Amino acid sequence: MATLTHQTVRQVALIGNPNTGKSTLFGAMVGVRQHVGNYPGVTVEKKTGRLRHERHDFEIIDLPGLYSLAPRSPDEVVAADILLRASERFPTADGVICILDAGNMQRGLYLLSQVLELGLPTVVAVNMLDVAADHGVEVDLDELRRRLPVPVVPIQANRRRGLDELKASLAEAFDRRTPPHETPFPAEFEEEVTRLTFAFANPEHGLHAGPPPRALLRRLLLDVGGYLERSLLDGLPSAPTLRAELAAARSRLNEAGCPIPGVETSARYAWGKEILEGVVTSPDDYPTTVSDRVDQVLTHRLWGTIVFGLLMLIVFQSVFVWAQPLMDLIDTGVGWLAGEATRMMPPGTLRSLIVDGVIAGVGGVVIFLPQIVVLFLFIAVLEDCGYMARAAFLMDRLMARVGLSGKSFIPMLSSFACAVPGIMAARTIENERDRLTTILVAPLLTCSARLPIYALLIAAFVPSTALLGGLLNTQGLVLAGLYVLGIVAAVVAALVLKRTVLRGETPPLLLDLPSYKTPSPRTVVYRVAQRAWHFVRCAGTLILAVSILVWAALYFPQNPAAVVELKQQRAELENRLTASPTTSPPVAAENQELVREMEHLDREIVATRQRHSILGRMGQVIEPVVRPLGWDWRIGCAVIASLPAREVVVATLGVIYNPGDEVDVGSEQGARQLQQRLRSATWEGSDRPVFTLPVALSILVFYALCAQCAATLGVMRQETGSWRWPVLAFTYMTVAAYVGALLTYQGFTRLL
């Protein structure tokens, strides 16, 4: 192998089982020199980072945690493709760092044996030796180095120990050839691999690059009807012939007593057992550690559930309490910016676009960023310390009752912040039906985008009545009820889906409980910053675009004929005000009345324009449909405008019900003004109020159940590879939202 030069950048795959400290090691090695994106054509997250050691340059690829190169989930497919070089869509690894958990070496060696067959420069990093020692497990690293054909380096990733030796060993691995690894498979298996090499070498099969490497052929032989077989053979004219060759090879192996795929499990575990004989010393009776005692409580059916409930209560309470000072600060900044824009720009289309479209739209989203940050902070800490796996284990019994496993719990928990990362987190679920069910019900859980709607309408129309001596109040109960409604709806939807279109057995939960450890501040901060930026970049840009479109749809077309009479009345009042002296108190009082009448006419002019606008006409078209919900055409306009994103509804209501008032509805003062305007709004041509408690509750229920989020539907399309599932989600959630809002309005109207 050629010697590495300072201009060469080598691609190094960082691989390991879940919960071995792989992501912590990645952050420790590359620091801030890392980039997060997506691989082309898929939504699996791509984490890469640059590392320089002396004259060597590496790009570290942080692969998803996996137990084997036999891919079952989308994450594992990408990892296998990169290592096996099975697809041109992904980068190919030039070398590998394989991280092992010192407390579970047998399981890690199973994956390592697959990696060694690739013939790539490889370094083994043995992590968490301190945790293993606490459990009485001792590892003879010198003997392990003698038995493995690659460098072995002890590390402690969370304390950044052993990193210099690891970097030096990585550079050394590229400077010398990796000795060929003797495969653990029996001779009969290797004979079939040789036969396949000759079969695939036939030019008639259309493999212009020649037969795949032996490591890839081994995986292809073991991958019965799986991803690799489809990826390599689909589209080839000779695919039926090659599949027949594979089937014949598998049949011969079964007859020889080497059944597929069981031969791999027995061969690799036998190899691992031989390697570890005399290397790992375990006690006859494992000592009871502090972690064991903690788990006796945290995984207990009763006490663990109580602790989990209290912890979630603290998390969501902190989301509101901790975030409030930062939200107030953003409030002030956005309000100041809107005020400066109003002061510096003359009245007209441009000022309306900047103030009502851009500042109000983006400000209405950015103000909720602190809540997103606080929620992701808790999630990152709980993940890094090892509690999230316990929560998934604890929730497995409950999730199984709706046909899911505990692995669906974490994606659904993430959906309380935003459904987009929640849906993306579902890619770690191996069972396809469970993954689709989790994706389809995740948007029902109350995300942060619903909070501005809840806060506005609850504060305006739900009386704040103290209960239980002030411990509870009706507004808080309504908010809690909306969260419960989302959870119940998700459970019902999961039950229906798992018994109809996604019918299937509930898979057992196979989950490793990682050792407890102190969260790495560097890792936590990076994860929170990464998710916050994702929210600002994706949600912010979408809301900006939608806000401008909503503004344009409410502003155009300008219909001068519709407001000519109102403008004449305003001009007459302005002339009277200009000509009137202001020296005496009676005249001053009369002038104040003239100003109020002019402000009223200003609002009437804007309201008339809105009625004749594109969005206003659309709202009037759907008014017969939404009238049974207690809504008028203006609420219908807000619902139409919020189809791309729920957050838009508050800004849209602010524009519709604050005609002539250029205020920031994201600010506290603007919110109070909007609430007052909603209370005083009446049906056109009557004194009947538009907004009542039943109407407000019907809107709240509608937005608790609806699928008003283009970003969520787009990610759902990318994750499932089809528009079928987003259309199904949008349809069933919209129907459920309408029916729920109808029952709420009609029911409370009769009760109150």
Q: One-letter amino acid identity for 670?
A: G
Q: Closest Cα to residue 741, out of 640, 627, 629, 624?
A: 629
pLDDT attached to residue 123: 95
Q: Are 475 and 458 in contact (CB under 8 A)?
A: yes
pLDDT attached to residue 163: 92
- Using 50, 70 and 90 to split pLDDT, how confident is the model at 508? low
Tokens of 627: 């009238």
Q: Is the peptide bond before 184 cis (omega within 30 degrees of 0)?
A: no
* 12-26, 167-181, 282-296, 451-465: range with lowest mean pLDDT: 282-296
* pTM, full prediction: 0.63
Identify the helix (H) or strand (E) that includes residue 498: helix 474-499
Give the chain's end-to-end CA distance (angstroms, integer): 82
Per-residue pLDDT, averaged over 100-105, amounts to 90
Enumerate the domain spans of the chain. 9-175, 187-257, 559-612
Query: pLDDT digits over 354-374, tens only?
Result: 876 677 666 666 766 787 788
Per-residue pLDDT, averaged over 148-163, amounts to 90
Query: pLDDT digits over 429-450, tens only?
Result: 767 788 899 999 999 998 877 8
Identify the helix (H) or strand (E) that includes residue 229: helix 227-233
Query: Which position has the higher pLDDT, 647 or 270?
Result: 270
- Using 50, 70 and 90 to split pLDDT, how confident is the model at 702? very high
Q: What is the CA radius of gyration of the chain?
A: 32
- Using 50, 70 and 90 to split pLDDT, how confident is the model at 660? very low
pLDDT attached to residue 5: 44
pLDDT attached to residue 555: 74
CATH class given for the domain over 9-175? alpha beta
Per-residue pLDDT, averaged over 619-641, amounts to 89
Query: pLDDT digits over 274-320, tens only?
Result: 999 999 988 877 667 777 788 888 888 888 888 888 887 777 667 66
pLDDT attached to residue 279: 92
Q: One-letter amino acid identity for 418?
A: C
Q: One-letter amino acid identity for 139?
A: V
- pLDDT score of 652 more than 60: yes
Q: Closest Cα to residue 474, out of 459, 488, 456?
A: 459
| 3-class DSSP state of 735 | helix
pLDDT attached to residue 320: 61
Q: Is the peptide bond before 557 cis (omega within 30 degrees of 0)?
A: yes
- pLDDT score of 252 more than 60: yes
Q: Are 101 and 88 in contact (CB under 8 A)?
A: no
pLDDT attached to residue 124: 95
